Amino acid sequence: MTRPGRRERIAGGLLGVHAGDALGATLEFSGWASIHQEHPDGLREIVGGGPFGWPPGHATDDTDLTRAVLLAYLDPGDDVVRTAADHMLAWRDGDWPGREPGSGPRDIGGSTSAGLRAYAASRDPRDAGAGAGSAGNGSLMRCLPTALAVADRDRRVREATEISAVTHDDPRCTAACATYVEIAAELLRGASPGDAVDAGVRAARQLGASPVEDAVRYGRALSLTEAAATGRTFLADDGGGYVLDSLSLAVAAVLDRRSFEDVVVDVVRTGNDTDTNGAVAGGLVGVRDGVGAIPARWLEKLQFREEFLAAAERLAGRPRAAAR
């Protein structure tokens, strides 16, 4: 099989987030047992619905906020962190495709809401955040564009942590984003999944984030097939929204050499925060395998498919941003 090129990997990452999000949205908040009863082999079609009544393939907050960060890298202005925060605020306030102008999002996490309130008041993206102790996965789900746009490692780590901290400034969140971004950046270079995960560990270690390093180590040991078949993940929050649970599942996913479909279906089968876990895992597996690995029947339903494909062309056609 032909190795995917840079454009294919970028498109795979962006649309992998979108596909995992859209698949998981149907089952959000459902536990493993109820999913297993209704879908013994896992949900394999993007059908929408779920607790927020999503149209099939519609972006939830996971994909929408990934888009907010992506737009910032496509046109960063003087400060990509501020530009990303402005796009997130526009999303919150209803200036967004597919939304009635001025209407709020169907779903917004507590830390995201608190951080954007703080940013709206201060207008300083580096003086916002929900505060230490709030360690949800709401910044991990949106951080992939930093890996796809920035070549310089130190700048990648810095911007990953600063964009996270606009809403999620707990050190577990900022370091998890840096770790994830480094894994994705190595995959984009064509590194093996194992070597890419090693790069993520180095980032966590550099930041002194031993809980994040432990989460990566657990992800290495986690059998996704067994977890999906039995419901036994032994994750701290059982995949219910804790940032390090989502990171562990994503590491297990990228090290699982099965197809994009099988891996993402099994991440979603584990239950609970299914849309975000699917999005976070789908992003890494999409960079690993390229857009051609995502089922065509999924791609055709995705709200931002054409926009993300065009963004991948733009990012692939210019030098990745270096240090400045």
Q: What is the pLDDT of residue 130?
A: 76
pLDDT given for residue 42 in this prediction: 97
Domain-located, residue 214: yes
Show the CA angle centred on residue 127, arms to residues 125 and 131, nearest 5°: 115
Residue 188 sits in a domain whose CATH number is: 1.10.4080.10
CA pair distance 277, 175, nearest whole angstrom: 17
Q: Would you write out the chain's pLDDT as a tens digit for each of its 324 residues? A: 689 999 999 999 999 999 999 999 999 999 999 999 999 999 999 999 999 999 999 999 999 999 999 999 999 999 999 999 999 999 999 999 989 999 999 999 999 999 999 999 999 999 888 778 889 999 999 999 999 999 999 999 999 999 999 999 999 999 999 999 999 999 999 999 999 999 999 999 999 999 999 999 999 999 999 999 999 999 999 999 999 999 999 999 999 999 999 999 999 999 999 999 999 999 999 999 999 999 999 999 999 999 999 999 999 987 655 433
Which residue has tokens 């840096």?
A: 178
Query: For the residues of 196-228, what is the DSSP string, one character each?
Result: HHHHHHHHHHHTT-HHHHHHHHHHHH--HHHHH
Domain membership of residue 145 (yes or no) is: yes
Coil, helix or strand at residue 296: helix
In a domain, 321, yes or no: no
- Predicted pLDDT of residue 124: 94
pTM above 0.85, yes or no: yes
Structural domain includes residue 146:
yes
Is 324 part of any domain? no
Q: Is residue 322 part of a domain?
A: no
Structure tokens at 290: 């390229």
Question: How many domains, in total, are found in the chain?
Answer: 1
Helix 243-255 vs helix 193-206: angle between axes, to the nearest 10 degrees? 150
State the residue range of the domain holding 247.
6-316
CA 308 to chain CA centroid, Å, is: 14
Determine, yes or no, domain membership for 75. Answer: yes
Question: In this structure, is residue 55 part of a structural domain?
Answer: yes
State residue 311's pLDDT score: 98
* Residues β-bridged to residue 54: 49
